[in-house]
Amino acid sequence: MPQMAPMSWVLLMLIFVLSFMIFNSMNYFNFKYNPKTINFKKMKKTMNWKW
């Protein structure tokens, strides 16, 4: 029935948007960032200011 075609397009768009948002949120929250630790004692030794 051609009268029902817009509903199927809306349903497909809704499924696509929801799957896209779920996929992006999973990628965002599964990423683990390991920052480099800074050794402050070593940094104080290397900062040798000649004033």
What are the residue ranges spanned by the domains of the chain? Answer: 2-46
Closest among 17, 33, 13, 35 to 25, alpha carbons compared: 17
For residue 35, give the DSSP letter.
P
Quick one: average pLDDT of 41-46? 61
What DSSP element (H or E) covers 41?
helix 40-46
**pLDDT tens, residue by residue, 8-42:** 888 999 999 999 999 999 998 887 877 777 666 66
User: What is the predicted pLDDT for the residue at 17?
Assistant: 97
Q: What pTM does this model have?
A: 0.52
Helices (H), 1-51: 5-30, 40-46
